[in-house]
Chain A
Amino acid sequence: MSRPGFVLEVDRSTPPILFHHGEGFRLERLPAGSRVVYPAEPVAPLKDPDAAIRHALLNPVGDSQPLPSLLHSGMKLTIAMDNQAVPLPPMQQPDNRQRVIEIVLDMAAAAGVDDVELIVAHGLHRRQTEAELRHMLGDRIYDAFAPHGMLTQHDAEDHDNLILVGRTEQGEHVELNKRAVTSDLLIYVNVNLVAMDGGHKSTMTGISSYRSLKHHHNVTGMQHSRSFMDPPNSELHNSTWRMGRLLADAVKIFQIETTVNTDTFPSQFAFLQKREWEWSARDRASYFGVSKSLERVPPRIARSIFHGIKSPQKMTSVQAGEVEAVHKITLENVHRQHLVPVQGQADVLTMGLPYVGPYNVNSVLNPLLVMCLGLGYFFNLYRGKPLVRQGGVVILSHPTRWEFHPVHHPSYIDFFEQVLTETTDPLEIEKKFEDDFATDPWYIHLYRNSYAYHGVHAFYMWYWGAHALQHVGQVIIVGGEPRAVRRMGFKPASTLRDALEMAEDVVGRNPSITHIHNPPIFLADVT
Chain B
Amino acid sequence: MIAEALAGKRIAITGSTGFLGTALVERLLRAVPGCELVLIVRAGRRTTPAARAKREIFGNDAFKTLRAQLGKEFDAEIARRVQVVAGDVSVDGLGLDDEAAALVTSCDTVIHSAAIVSFDSPIDVAAEVNLMGPVRMAELLRESGSSAHMVAVSTAYVAGTRRGRAAEAALADTPFSTEVDWRAEMAAARRARADADAASRDPDLLAQFAKEARAELGAAGPPLLAAKTEKRREKWVADRLVEAGRSRAKSLGWPDAYAYTKALAERATQEVRGHVPVTVVRPSIIESAWQEPHPGWIRGFRMAEPVLISYGRGLLSEFPGIPEGVVDVIPVDMVVATIITVAAKGPEPDGTGVYQVATGNRNPLYYRNLVNLVREYFLENPLYDTDGQPIVAPDWSFSGRGKALRQLQRGVRALGQAEKVVAALPIRGKRAEVMARLEERRDMGERALDYVKLYGSYAETEALFDDTRLRGLLAGMSPDDQAAFGLDTNVIDWKHYVQVIHLPSVVRQARVRTTGGARQSETRHERGKRTILSPERHIAAFDLENTLIASNVVESYSYLASRRLPNDERARFTLDMLRQGPGLLALDRKDRGDFLRHFYRKYEGAPAAHIREDAWQLFSDLILTKSFPAGIRRVREHRALGHRTLLITGALDFVIEPLRPLFDDIVCARLGERDGLFTGEMIEAPPTGEARAIAIADYAQAEGLLLAESVVYADSASDLPMLEAVGHPVAVNAEPKLAAIARKRGWHIEQWTKAAGAPIPLLPLAPRRGA
Contact = CB atoms under 8 A, between A and B. Distances in A.
Interface of A: 130-131, 300, 364, 366, 401-407, 410, 413-414, 417-418, 440-442, 445-446, 449-451
Given A402-B756, A441-B661, A442-B662, A407 B620 contact: yes
Given A406-B627, A451-B620, A401 B661 contact: no
Contacts, number: 62
Interface of B: 616, 619-621, 624-625, 627, 629-630, 632-633, 636, 658, 661-662, 754-760, 767, 770-771
A176 to B, nearest CB: 26
A407 B661 contact: no
29 contacts: A131-B767, A131-B771, A300-B759, A364-B757, A366-B757, A401-B756, A401-B757, A403-B755, A403-B756, A404-B629, A404-B755, A404-B756, A405-B758, A405-B759, A406-B624, A406-B627, A406-B757, A407-B758, A410-B624, A410-B629, A413-B633, A413-B755, A417-B630, A442-B661, A442-B662, A445-B661, A446-B624, A449-B616, A450-B658
Contacts of B620: 407, 450-451
Given A404-B756, A406-B757, A450-B619, A417 B633 contact: yes
A403 B633 contact: no
Nearest to A413: B629
Given A404-B629, A417-B630, 14 more contacts: A300-B759, A300-B760, A403-B757, A404-B755, A406-B625, A406-B754, A407-B620, A407-B625, A410-B624, A414-B629, A442-B636, A442-B661, A450-B619, A450-B624
B756 A410 contact: no
A403 B771 CA distance: 29
Contacts of B767: 131
Nearest to A126: B620
Contacts of A401: 756-757
B276 to A, nearest CB: 71
B755 A406 contact: yes
Contacts of B760: 300
A413 B631 CA distance: 12
A44 B662 CA distance: 53
B610 to A, nearest CB: 15
A71 to B, nearest CB: 31
A145 B719 CA distance: 49
A441 B663 CA distance: 11
A449 B662 CA distance: 13
A131 B621 CA distance: 14
A136 to B, nearest CB: 16
Given A300-B760, A403-B755, A410 B632 contact: yes
B297 to A, nearest CB: 43
Contacts of B770: 130
A435 B658 CA distance: 24
Give the residue among B755, B756, B767 with the most A Cβ atoms within 10 A: B755
Contacts of A446: 624
Q: Please provide the 7 A-B residue pairs with the shortest distance between their CB atoms, ordered closest to farther.
A: A403-B757, A406-B755, A364-B757, A450-B620, A403-B756, A445-B661, A413-B629
A405 B629 CA distance: 10
A247 to B, nearest CB: 33
A405 B759 CA distance: 8
Contacts of B754: 406
A451 B770 CA distance: 18
Contacts of B616: 449
Instruction: Identify the interface centre among B627, B754, B757: most chain A CB within 10 Å of its CB.
Output: B757
Given A449-B616, A450-B658, A407 B756 contact: no
A410 B756 CA distance: 12
A402 B629 CA distance: 13
A253 B759 CA distance: 40
B757 A414 contact: no
B228 to A, nearest CB: 38
Nearest to A451: B620
Nearest to B633: A414
B641 to A, nearest CB: 14
A451 B619 CA distance: 10
A418 B624 CA distance: 20
Nearest to B658: A449
Contacts of B630: 417
Nearest to A441: B661
B627 to A, nearest CB: 6
B665 to A, nearest CB: 16
A450 B619 CA distance: 7
Contacts of A440: 636
Contacts of A366: 757
Contacts of A418: 633
A300 to B, nearest CB: 7
A405 B661 contact: no
A304 to B, nearest CB: 8
A483 B530 CA distance: 24
Nearest to A146: B770
A303 to B, nearest CB: 9
Nearest to B754: A406
A446 B623 CA distance: 12
A460 to B, nearest CB: 20
A418 B627 CA distance: 18
B751 to A, nearest CB: 15
A267 to B, nearest CB: 28
A397 B767 CA distance: 35
Contact of A406 (B629, B636, B662, B771): B629
A407 B632 CA distance: 12
Nearest to B624: A407
B178 to A, nearest CB: 68
A481 to B, nearest CB: 10
Contacts of B771: 131
